[in-house]
Structure 1
Amino acid sequence: MIRALAAVSLMALTSGCIAAAVVPIAASSSAIVKSRMAEKRAAHQGAAPQTLPAPSAGEGLTNLVPTLKERQVGAEAPPAPGIPATLPARGVVPEGMQYLYGSGEASAGSIQAYRALQRYLADIVTYGKKGAARQVVLSDGASLNAPQFEPCGPKPLAVVLDIDETAVLNLGYEADAARRGESYDAARWSRWEQSGADKVVAVPGAKMALDAARAAGITVIFNSNRLAENAAATEAALAHAGLGPAKHGTTLWLKGDDGGGSGKDDRRWAIASGYCVIALVGDQLGDFSDLFNEARLAPSTRRALAGSPALAALWGNGWFMLPNPVYGTALKGSADEIFPHDMRWTDPGPAATAPAAGTAVQPK
């Protein structure tokens, strides 16, 4: 039954360069349009962006999603791995770290995601032999509200993963950060990349899924914003965690390899030019498309895009998300940006909710 259901899902995702198997939520005339590498880099100079408002009730996302040229003006670079801007008192472990690095709940969620990936890859191998597999990397020129993907043809199959808090947990770095009670520091993170290879562990479930992928003939490729200059140490970290081998320039892509910044789309397109990328795995939306990192997208709009019908069909069906409450583009937004006004509640107080005198209260 599971395989039959997977086959139905796969058929919806395997018809060449087409939109996802649902109706887009906004007209393509207002889609986020991908431009070429040189054009993107030339547009990096400009004024600071303004936050786009969240859609009101009944309003689509058509007018809230900028074109790529618009978003590249002062575009937001995903934050480097690290910790929130501020920490509580020295020695106190932040709640996000308690959850991600210490809880059974986070372990269970990660194992669940990687088991889903393993089942999905097994189905792809079965049906892909019939020529049905296709890319899950958004085509250059596609948009979030009209996603398109290229057919694979004879390319070998591959799965592409982020590294930090997707494949490995940076226990050594985060323990040091919690002890210090200090904000993220790029120089300290670079030193961690260079010297902390033996202080990482695999994310629960990752080794199981990646071993199975390789056994099935699927190439495992890592795409990370770790620095290319620290490639040898990153290879060693992956090997120490039991997730290797990874070789820089072939199965390991790092920040600086494409000559650009923190965006990963150029690297994804380079990988997809030689492989049929049948799965993407990450802990940030930017691990699936740079378009999610448009600085002017309000948190509620970004959330609406991720859950829109056009993209909902991909989660667990080619795109696999891991939990990360510690750092990244997810951790932003004021109360007004996060909580809808029509969902606000104010405690009326005990007097308003207490039963009247003499009224019997039925025990629960």
Structure 2
Amino acid sequence: MKSPWTLFVTSTSLLLSLSLLPSCSISVGQRTTIEQAHQGQYMSPTLGGKLFTSAWMQRSAEYKALCQQAYNIATERLLAATSDPRNKGKKWAIVTDIDETIVDNSANSVHQALKGKDYEQASWDHWCDLSEAVALSGAVEFFRLADSLGVSIYYISNRDEVNKPGTKRNLIALGFPQVDEEHFMFRDASRSSDKTARRSAVLRSHEILMLLGDNLGDFDHIFDVRDEEKRDESVKVFAKEFGRRFIVLPNPNYGAWEPAMNGGYPKLEEKDAKLRTLLRSHRE
């Protein structure tokens, strides 16, 4: 039996279509998931956006192609470095994020959206315990190749320590290598999202060949700011690293760009109001 986190595209399409109606009640299976009881009440743009981006991640060939493209580039960089005689004897490491970098968690976004809710810690922890995230196209093959070439893999994630058991079960079931305590570097009790110290710990014993992530903070702390202009300028600073030392995976569902755009993590209703004023629109 599929878990309630699984997205059925027919249900999502129905939900998106009926969201345009002035009043509707939408059921998935035997459970009513969204009710719009008052005339003129429409689905939240943020809610609808999460469903639409999740549908793209789960159903489009384009998303799979972009992920495969990122891992193809990573593979070229890996083979070039490990076959170069000048690098003989180097202790190489690859640093990778987990969420939306090697696995797809959009099912949890759908689960929350169908309840009319945004991210919640309890729901996220339960999702991690389920161990049902699926691997991104090209991810398992790339990391197994790196493992076969003697490269150390460090999973530097902002999942919490409590999420480790479920994460390990999930990654082992998917076939990822080096899934053990030594190579897992999760967020500590301080709950800081800054990964600098963890990357530095890897550098004490290895040379980092490349870093993979969906969020630019996975590469450098300079991107962990709530200022869109500074983040844009930092992209220019590191322009030559993208596709070389930094491999970026697509993630339209969430990321540091959201608090940079919104000035933090406002409530769903406030997000919707901001979207109406922040986005550019074609003028008649």
Q: TM-score by structure 1 length?
A: 0.57
Report the Cα distance in structure 1 between the residues aligned to 2:254 and 2:54, rounded to whole angstroms.
9
Q: Alpha-carbon deviation of 1:274?
A: 1.4
> Which residue does the alignment assign to 1:212?
145
> Which residue does the alignment assign to 1:290?
221
Report the Cα distance in structure 2 between the residues aligned to 1:93 and 1:328, rounded to whole angstroms.
13
Does 1:238 find its partner at 2:165?
no
RMSD after superposition: 2.6
Match of 1:105 among 59, 62, 73: 62
Q: How does 1:140-219 map to 2 (within 5 A)?
A: 156-193=91-128, 195-197=129-131, 199-219=132-152
Q: Alpha-carbon deviation of 1:244?
A: 3.2
- Paired residues of 2:212 and 2:248 also in contact (CA < 8 A): yes
Q: Alpha-carbon deviation of 1:101?
A: 2.2
Q: Alpha-carbon deviation of 1:175?
A: 3.7
Match of 1:320 among 243, 247, 255: 247
Structure with a larger share of its residues in helix: 2
Cα offsets for 1:284-306 (capped at 9, x unmatched):
011001211122x2x24312321
Cα offsets for 1:148-194 (capped at 9, x unmatched):
xxxxxx6511111100110111254234223323111112212222x
SS of 1:279's equivalent in the other structure is strand
Larger radius of gyration: 1
- Paired residues of 1:300 and 1:337 also in contact (CA < 8 A): no
Report the Cα distance in structure 2 between the residues aligned to 1:290 and 1:337, rounded to whole angstroms.
25
Can you give the 5+ residue segments of structure 1 that lack an aligned partner in the other structure? 1-83, 133-153, 348-364
Q: Alpha-carbon deviation of 1:273?
A: 1.0
Letter in 2 for 1:101: Q
Letter in 2 for 1:111: Q
Tell which has more relative contact order, 1 or 2 (C-alpha 8 A, sep 6+).
1
Cα offsets for 1:217-236 (capped at 9, x unmatched):
11121100011133222111
Report the Cα distance in structure 2 between the residues aligned to 1:172 and 1:240, rounded to whole angstroms.
18
SS of 2:111's equivalent in the other structure is helix
Letter in 2 for 1:256: D
Letter in 1 for 2:111: D
Q: Alpha-carbon deviation of 1:216?
A: 1.4
SS of 1:182's equivalent in the other structure is coil
Q: How does 1:110-129 map to 2 (within 5 A)?
A: 110-127=67-84, 129=85
Report the Cα distance in structure 2 between the residues aligned to 1:260 and 1:177, rounded to whole angstroms.
22
Structure with a larger share of its residues in strand: 2
> Which residue does the alignment assign to 2:283?
346
SS of 1:87's equivalent in the other structure is helix
Can you give the 5+ residue segments of structure 2 that lack an aligned partner in the other structure? 1-43, 262-273
Q: TM-score by structure 2 length?
A: 0.72
When the two structures are aligned, how many residues end up with a matched partner? Answer: 227
> Which residue does the alignment assign to 1:351?
none
Percentage identity across aligned positions?
26
Does 1:227 find its partner at 2:184?
no
Letter in 2 for 1:213: A
Report the Cα distance in structure 1 between the residues aligned to 2:55 and 2:133, rounded to whole angstroms.
16
CA 1:276–1:345 in structure 2 vs 1: closer, same or farther (change >3 Å)? same
